[in-house]
């Protein structure tokens, strides 16, 4: 009898715990549901830098700067890299038109230092992380950029956008994909073209994509899936 009582207490506990897990907003995410709005030390306008040119109202449009002009490590490292402060200053010290705007003034406070705000000169801006993965997941930017931007010759903003969303329309970035395992696996299961016009030759690398021989479609196109082994990401 007592055993039964104890068991029911245990089961109740488990039920409460699992329903709590189910109630957590995280579980209801769809592929495109947005992450939290993250306040940044400087409200960085991505749309101004990377957005499309607006011919009618140039002041509202962007400059179509390549993502990798600032996130320069994406093509050669596991992480894309937050641009060093020097890079921001490199351009902005000669853009007189915006030098007195609040955000740029704030930028120069980090570079030149500010006594009243107690910032030493050349202090890196304490950006908040917007796209983070759990520590047991290893994502490699280089692999993806090499494949989709250089071998497939796709536009940079499209390739980055698979995971980061339409950043060129945002002010500060906001996560717009779940970045869950299902999200990654969904793409890895698709047949992607191995080569493309104007793209870098993939050579034997195609075999490494999925550790299977690339498939020749009836159309003659050579396709390969993304790797499907656990250890590719869970190293």
Partner 1 sequence: MMGSSFDRRDFLKVLGWGGAAVALSGCGNTSVEDGKETVVSYSEPTDYMIPSIGVYYNSTCAQCDAGCNINGRVREGRVLKLEGNPDSAINRGKLCGLGQAGVQHHYNPDRIREPLLRSGDKGEAITWEKAYALIAEKLQGVDGEEIAFVTGGMSGHSKVLLENYLLSFGCKNHFVYEAVAPAVVRAANEKSYGVTMPRLSINKAKLVLSFGADFLGSWISPVHFSQQYGQFRKGVDGQRGILVQVESKMTLTGANADRWLVVRPGTEGVLALGLINALGTASGDAAAAAQGYDKERVSKDTGVSVEQIDKLVELLKSHTPSLVLAGSAAEGYVHGSQNAAAINLLNHVLGNVGKTIEPAASVPFPQMSPAVGGTAALTKLGEGLSAGKFKVLFNYAANPVFTAPASMKLKDELTKVGFKIAFAHYLDETALQADLVLPLDSALEDWGTSVPEYMAGDAQISVQQPLMEKLYANTRGFGDILLVLLKQRQSDNYKDYADYYAYLRGAMLQNKNALGGEGADDDTFWNHSLSSGILKAAGSSAALSGSASAAGLTLPAPAAADAQYPLHFIPGVSASHRDGRHANQPWLQESPDPLTTIVWDSWVEIHPKKAAELGIVEGDIVEVTSKSGSIKAQAYLFPGIHPDAVSVPLGQGHEAMGRYAKGIGANPFAILDAVFDKETGELAMHETRVKISKTGQRVVVVKDEGPAGGSQAGKKIAARLDANHVDLSKEA
Residue 109 vs 194, nearer CB to partner 1? 109
**Which residues contribute to the site for partner 1 (CB under 8 A)?**
2, 5-6, 10, 13-14, 16-18, 20-21, 24, 26-27, 29, 35-39, 73, 76-79, 81-86, 110-111, 122-135, 175, 178-182
Q: Cβ 96 to partner 1, closest distance in Å? A: 23
Contacts 24+ apart (CB under 8 A), 154-162: 154/196, 156/66, 156/67, 156/68, 157/50, 157/67, 160/67, 160/74, 162/187
Residue 154 vs 177, nearer CB to partner 1? 177
Q: Cβ 130 to partner 1, closest distance in Å? A: 6
Residue 61 vs 81, nearer CB to partner 1? 81
Q: Cβ 133 to partner 1, closest distance in Å? A: 6
Residue 112's Cβ-count burial label (10 Å; 0-12, 13-18, 19+) is exposed
Beta bridge partners of 223: 193, 215
Residue 21 vs 98, nearer CB to partner 1? 21
| Alpha carbon distance 169, 49 (integer Å) | 10
| Alpha carbon distance 235, 221 (integer Å) | 32
Q: Cβ 219 to partner 1, closest distance in Å? A: 36
């Amino acid at each position: 009898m007592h055993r039964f009582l104890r068991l029911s207490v245990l089961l109740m506990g488990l039920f409460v715990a699992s329903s709590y897990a189910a109630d957590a907003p995280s579980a209801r995410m769809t592929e495109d549901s947005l992450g939290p709005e993250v306040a940044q030390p400087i409200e960085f306008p991505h749309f101004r830098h990377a957005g499309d040119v607006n011919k009618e109202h140039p002041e509202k449009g962007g400059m179509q700067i390549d993502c990798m002009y600032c996130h320069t490590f994406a093509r050669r490292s596991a992480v894309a890299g937050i641009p060093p402060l020097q890079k921001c200053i490199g351009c902005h010290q000669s853009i007189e038109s915006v030098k007195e705007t609040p955000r740029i003034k704030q930028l120069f406070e980090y570079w030149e230092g500010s006594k009243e705000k107690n910032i030493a000169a050349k202090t890196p801006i304490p950006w908040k992380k917007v796209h983070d993965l759990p520590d047991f997941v290893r994502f490699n930017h280089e692999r993806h950029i090499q494949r989709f931007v250089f071998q497939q010759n796709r536009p940079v903003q499209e390739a980055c956008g698979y995971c980061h969303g339409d950043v060129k329309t945002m002010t500060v970035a906001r996560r717009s994909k779940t970045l869950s395992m299902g999200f990654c696996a969904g793409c890895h299961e698709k047949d992607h073209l191995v080569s493309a016009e104007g793209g870098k030759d993939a050579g034997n690398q195609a075999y490494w994509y999925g550790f299977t021989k690339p498939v020749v479609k009836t159309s003659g196109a050579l396709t390969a899936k993304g790797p499907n082994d656990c250890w590719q990401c869970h190293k």
